[in-house]
Amino acid sequence: MAAFSFHIAARDGAARTGEIRLPRGTIRTPAFMPVGTAATVKAMHTHEVKALGADVLLGNTYHLMLRPGAERVARLGGLHRLMNWPHPILTDSGGFQVMSLAKLRQIDERGVTFQSHIDGARHELTPERAIEIQGLLGSDIQMQLDECVKLPCTDAEAARAMRLSLRWAERCRTAFGDQPGRVEHGRALFGIVQGGANRDLRVESARTLAGMDFEGYSIGGLAVGEPQDVMLAMIDTVMPHLPDGKPHYLMGVGTPDDIVESVRRGVDMFDCVMPTRAGRHGQVFSRFGKINMRNARHADDPRPIDEASPWEPTRTYSRAYLHHLVKSGEILGMMLLTGINLAYYQELMAGLRAAIAAGRLDDFIARTKEGWARGDA
């Protein structure tokens, strides 16, 4: 069976388009991964998510280890079978959730001990256990366990967490090498660059991880409250030190503007809850920018969100009807707006891939931003 591989098809400046090839399917890059935290993309059927253009979903190690449990998922045939998604799945390691549980966890060299947010039960997540869980889930791309710190933070705190994450990366690499099924299923392990907003720490992290020869490299610890210019500066700092022939994944990002600017800098993969969460709360992302469907001005508007969209609900349901659904709290409103948002994100990624292949990325980004600026009036 074919192993994990990454092929760059075209470049435009630092941006690249290509394919991540896995036994369960090919991921076209740059790629946006819808977030399926608890083995579901909220308010969406998996066949709809695929029809939107998604090649890969993200699952969450922390949430799945608590419920339904990694061992149970394995007994039921793995995460792909459980959620009826036969295509690639990437699982994060739980490090970001650990950050958000500051009042419920303790971190030391061995790993993280934390209380479940569900029932208060105590659990331990070590680098070895994080890899074991991801193996039981059967995910195709797995992440090292890391410690993600909130920004802003002191350089001393960023350095401590980054170096602990590097030591955990070595342990994850060893555990992954021993993971049952790793070779026959063509699985991959990505390292995660940390270092806060400190350029020297980011370089140290990237260079050290590059020496460990991961299948791919992620930039973590961003999109945690810092301004966009800080995030982009950290990407610019890190990119020269990551292996060029490996996938580059910016974790937890983000807005359409964050994505296009990061693609311009050589990022290949993204994930974010923003399009699904926004859809459940009445917000739409479109080529006209962000639209608040709760706004009263949509109540009598017969126009669709975008009559030129390739996704049928975007061009067939009126703004008036979507406004009504949102104001009434109807589940259908959440479903439709979530799909409309994910459709736009996938349409944006397809446009970026085509623009890079044609050597016209700057023109595409300029036109895209002009559309956002014009708005939906």
The rounded percent of the chain whose pLDDT value lies above 90 is 89
**Active-site position among 12, 55, 271, 306:** 271
> Is residue 213 annotated as a catalytic residue, yes or no?
no
pLDDT at site 2: 67
Q: Above 70 in pLDDT, residue 377?
A: no
* 92 annotated as ligand-binding: yes
Q: Among residues 92, 140, 306, 376, which one is catalytic? A: 92
pLDDT digits (tens, 9 = 90+) for 40-71: 999 999 999 999 999 999 999 999 999 999 99
What is the spatial distance between Cα 17 and Cα 356, in angstroms, rounded to a whole number?
6
Taking Cα atoms as reference points, which of 85, 14, 80 lies closest to residue 45? 85
pTM equals 0.97
Name the band, by pLDDT with cuts 50, 70 and 90, for residue 115. confident
Degrees to nearest 5, angle at CA 74 with 69 and 80:
100
- Domains in the chain: ranges and CATH: 10-278 (3.20.20.105), 280-374 (no CATH)
Listed residue (25, 22, 24, 21) closest to 9, CA to CA = 21
Does 97 carry a binding-site annotation? no
- C-beta of residue 260 within 8 angstroms of C-beta of residue 352: yes
Q: What is the pLDDT of residue 333?
A: 98
Identify the weakest region by mean pLDDT among 12-16, 88-92, 99-103, 183-187. 99-103
The residue among 247, 322, 339 whose CA lies nearest residue 285 is: 339
146 is in an annotated binding site: yes
Question: How confident is residue 284, by pLDDT bands cut at 50, 70 and 90?
Answer: very high
- Split at pLDDT 50, 70, 90, the class of 376 is low
Of the chain, the percentage scoring pLDDT greater than 70 comes to 98
Average pLDDT, the chain: 95
Mean pLDDT of 237-262: 98
Q: Look at residue 344 in the predicted model and tell me its pLDDT.
A: 98
Supply the pLDDT for residue 1: 47
Q: In the annotation, is 271 catalytic?
A: yes
Annotation-wise, does 254 bind a ligand? no
Judged against a pLDDT cut of 80, whether residue 375 lies above it is answered with no
